[in-house]
Structure 1
Amino acid sequence: MRKMIIGIVSLLAVIVAAEPAAAATGGGWVPAPSSPWEVPAGARCDFPVRAEPVVDEVRTRVFERYPDGSTKREAYVGDLVLKVTNVASGASVEVDLSGSAMVKIAQGGTVVSDSVWAVVGPALFGFREGGGNRPRGIYVFDGLYTIAFDAASYKTVTMYHGTERELCAELSR
């Protein structure tokens, strides 16, 4: 486990160290805007949920490609705050999701299938019933962790140090 933590921290240090210099020259960082999204009742929570960016300064950069040109490793950095709303009751919460991630994608995969995210800081992930190693819900993970997606988008979270917060429970109050 110690080796894994050192590897994740080292990988993410590359992102942070490269960002200021790359930003000054353009360095391949491009905006990665988050779109508003909605899920119906029962998909993640017992009620319909809507999320929309309040602050969105996320950027992405491809660090490595496969011979066919598809992305093998890419990073995400920048400020992101989402307003997540229980559509049925109007209850909402703003969540800071300004973490940094390095994503390794298997050839033929995408960022949400056949990939592994190494993350430092907060990020939000939704889980459908039977769709991962967490119960159905919307989670904010914060700390040092990985999230692996298999070909069917089944999510496996491995938390090395940090916290998790389940938003459906908060929004149902």
Structure 2
Amino acid sequence: MRPTTLCSLAVVTTLASALLGAVPASAETAAPGKDGWAPAPTPSFDYPAGARCDFPIHTEPIVDEVVKKVLVAHPDESPSKIAFKGDLVVRVTNTDTGAYYDADAGGSAIVDIHTDRSQLWHVVGPVLVGVGENNGNLPRGEYRIDGVYTLAISSTGYRTLNMFNGSTDDVCSRIG
């Protein structure tokens, strides 16, 4: 049995979307419990061919026990530092062929959120990260990243991975 960890990177997509525009209602309205942890459900996403992979994909959590806790807030009470924990497995499906891969995205992270809505993720463990064309220091794709690293997400959504120790796994090649 794996110990409970602090993050999942399909959550990166969720939080990035939340801070950059499209927030799932459930992520905004979940009330924290008495210990400060609140559900942080991971939404499903559909991407057309060329957005992440050469073919259309659908991502959907099949195990989602992720919770979040605001550790520090800005003066306006918006989150400044958030911790995430809980198991997450995301099924990534090639919607042309039905081929899929179940990505363990349950890693550990503390996320710094800046006033310009940029983010810095401090991560240990596996997460799932999508990168659009010319929108990161990784090529376009859907990646399972595992190890010790930071992921900076600019206010425009540009992703910069700084890997200290670990690996990236191209999920598109697994289901293409």
TM range (shorter): 0.7 to 0.9
Residue 151 in structure 1 maps to residue 159 in structure 2: no
Provide structure 2 residue ranges, at least 5 long, that are not aligned to the other structure: 1-5, 8-32
Q: Following TM superposition, by how much is the alpha carbon of 1:108 offset from its aligned partner in structure 2, in angstroms?
A: 3.9
Instruction: Work out whether 1:60 is the aligned partner of 2:68.
Output: yes
1:16-31 alignment runs, 5 A limit: 26-31=34-39
Partner Cα separation in structure 2 for residue 150 and residue 33 of structure 1: 23
CA offset digits 1:42-71 (Å, max 9, x no partner)? 100010000111110000000000111111
CA deviation after TM superposition for structure 1 residue 164, in Å: 0.8
Q: RCO (CA 8 Å, sep 6+): is it higher in 1 or 2? A: 2
Residue 26 of structure 1: how far off its partner (Å): 3.3
Per the TM alignment, residue 169 of structure 1 is displaced from its structure 2 partner at its CA by 1.0
Stretches of 4+ aligned residues off by more than 6 angstroms: none
* Alpha-carbon separation, structure 2, partners of 1:127 and 1:108: 20
The CA distance in 1 between the partners of 2:129 and 2:91, in whole Å, is: 14
TM-score, with normalisation over the residues of structure 1?
0.81
Decide whether the 8 Å contact of 2:142 with 2:172 is kept in 1.
Answer: yes
| Identity of matched residues, % | 44
Look up the match of 1:34.
42
Larger Rg: 1
Measure the CA separation in 2 of the matches of 1:26 and 1:100: 22
TM-score (norm 2): 0.80
In the TM superposition, what are the counterparts of 1:1-173 in structure 2 within 5 Å? Answer: 26-109=34-117, 114-172=118-176
**Alpha-carbon deviation of 1:39?**
0.4
Give the C-alpha shift of residue 107 in structure 1: 1.2
CA distance in 2, matches of 1:78, 1:121: 12
For the residues of structure 1 that align with 2:156 and 2:93, how far apart are their CA atoms? Answer: 27
State the alpha-carbon separation in 2 of the partners of residues 26 and 79 from structure 1. Answer: 21
Contact 2:73/2:79 (<8 A) preserved: yes
* Number of residue pairs the alignment of both structures matches: 146
C-alpha RMSD over aligned residues: 1.4
